[in-house]
């Protein structure tokens, strides 16, 4: 069941991108590149949730608009999360 906070965030940031990451988590270099992406666009990062699906580890980032989510996908090879 989804928390009220998670539901509120998803209503403000409905475009969720999932990045497949190594089993030991998000590496520092990738994390810095993600921060640079957000800083270059003057947007606050909405991220932090790591989930496991079908034996794979994914890192999620949330975006308010689809254009920014698509730019993130192009740069990082992520996939748009389909609800």
Encoding tokens for residue 32?
């810095």
Structure tokens at 51: 């989930």
Please tell me the pTM assigned to this model. 0.82
DSSP, collapsed to helix, strand or coil, labels residue 11 as helix
pLDDT at 33: 94
Burial environment of residue 32 by CB neighbours within 10 A (0 to 12, 13 to 18, 19 or more): exposed
Evaluate whether 71 touches 15 at the Cβ level (below 8 Å): no
Ordered by where they begin, the domains of the chain are: 4-80 (3.30.70)
More confidently predicted of 42 and 24:
42
pLDDT tens digit string along 27-78? Answer: 899 999 999 999 999 998 876 678 899 999 999 889 999 999 999 999 999 9
CA-CA distance, 67 to 56, in Å (whole number)?
26
Give residue 44's pLDDT.
Answer: 86
pLDDT of residue 46: 76
pLDDT of 5 reads 66
């Amino acid at each position: 069941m989804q928390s009220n906070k998670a539901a509120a965030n998803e209503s403000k940031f409905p475009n969720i991108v999932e990045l497949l990451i190594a089993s030991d988590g998000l590496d520092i270099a990738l994390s810095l590149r993600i921060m640079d992406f957000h800083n270059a666009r003057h947007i606050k990062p909405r991220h932090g949730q790591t989930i496991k699906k079908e034996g794979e580890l994914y890192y999620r980032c949330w975006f308010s608009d689809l254009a920014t989510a698509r730019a993130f996908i192009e740069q990082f090879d992520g996939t748009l999360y389909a609800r």
